[in-house]
Chain A
């Protein structure tokens, strides 16, 4: 199995500031990685998914972007944060067989 690390765990940023959330994977892994966002009291919204280095698919139009510079690294970024970007960001990856989806511990972002 694998372990998914997310950093930072908590972040408070002013409107208009940049953002970088990092997800790294340890252990045996599946090539696919996902970024989800969860607004308070809501379900999970898929933001980006990647099937390999440099390969990113965006699910919703927004001011966020993602990059996959290394096989085990997935980064979520923004040049200028909006209040609506606040939420709980989760990185996820299927297990090697694809039968289980593992989640990181999440990053709490509050935009003020």
Chain B
């Protein structure tokens, strides 16, 4: 059974600081997704990572994938208040299943 673990689950940081969210998964997968969710809203796709060593960046967010370590990271650079949200990683497993982590609730304080 595929398991996906994120840490930290809660993150409070100051504007301008950097931080990294980690996503570990238990079995081999060919793709990994990062999503953002604002309170009461659906999920917004941020990144999809398809191969070992893949790195994607959008604004202050950068995601990377190490398939050998079964680890993905979401790095936040110079955080701003607008980045406050819950971030999920999701791993594509067998049988068309997509398994999500528990999410990281990020709060960026002025």
Contact = CB atoms under 8 A, between A and B. Distances in A.
A103 B42 contact: yes
A90 B43 contact: yes
Interface string B16-53: 00000000000000010100000011110100101000
A99 B48 contact: yes
Contacts, number: 48
A101 B90 contact: yes
B68 interface: no
Contacts of A94: 96
A34 interface: yes
B96 A104 contact: no
A46 B42 contact: no
Residue from A90, A92, A99 having most chain B Cβ neighbours under 10 A: A99
The 5 closest A-B pairs by CB, nearest first: A43-B102, A44-B100, A103-B43, A106-B42, A103-B42
Contacts of B105: 41
A94 B98 CA distance: 10
Nearest to A92: B98
Nearest to B30: A98
Interface residues of B, number: 21
Interface SS of A by simple majority: strand
A74 interface: no
A46 B43 contact: no
Contact of A102 (B31, B45, B96): B45
Interface in B77-104: 88, 90, 95-103
Contacts of B31: 99
Contacts of A43: 88, 100-103
A103 B99 CA distance: 14
Contacts of B103: 42-43
A43 B48 CA distance: 18
A96 B59 CA distance: 26
B45 A101 contact: yes
Interface string A44-87: 10100101000001010000000000000000000000000000
20 contacts: A32-B96, A34-B98, A42-B102, A42-B103, A43-B100, A43-B102, A43-B103, A44-B88, A51-B96, A59-B97, A92-B98, A99-B50, A100-B45, A100-B48, A101-B33, A101-B45, A102-B45, A103-B43, A105-B41, A106-B41
